[in-house]
Amino acid sequence: MARSATIFKVQLQVADMDRNYYGDHALVIARHPSETDERMMARLLAFALNASESLEFGRGLSTEDEPDLWQKDLTGQIELWIDVGQPDEKSVRKAGGRASQVRIYNYGVRGVDTWWNQVRSKLERQKNLSVNYFPQEATRAMATLAGRNMQLQCTIQQGQIWFSSGAQTVEITPVSVHPVM
């Protein structure tokens, strides 16, 4: 019998001073049986960095034609497509044709350079693509914040991110891979 997704409930407060966005989000995250806490928290971090009232989680791992997160306009057109991890270049190019913007967030240090070197020549001309990664020590520390019911605060200022749960705070400095800022 196949294992079903584990449900996590998150109360997330976002204070993004870089975008002048402030919001409270009641989120329900389904963690696929093959997904780690580290990857789930990387998805949550990607949500916080792009938070809006219309941003929502896709089916991600369980569906090839859906991203981890996406934002659609009122007509159903995809404005923002977000994948977490190392998607294959065909999927990224296809997403680039369907969405106004595509953002990839790698997490952990292992294999990021190798992955980007393999897909760079086919993707770096894609004007609507940005690729970033979260350092491994930060995503591992974020994984320690994971719980079935989470109350988290995220503050973003000058490219620095602070994720807090009670007395525990994790500082994250994303690194831009493409375009290099």
Which CATH fold would you assign to the domain 6-178? Answer: Restriction endonuclease-like alpha-beta roll fold (3.10.640)
The per-residue pLDDT for range 97-136, each reduced to its tens digit, is 999 999 999 997 667 888 999 999 999 889 999 999 999 9
CA distance 132 to 49: 11
pTM of the predicted protein model: 0.94
Whether the per-residue pLDDT at 63 is higher than 80: the answer is: no
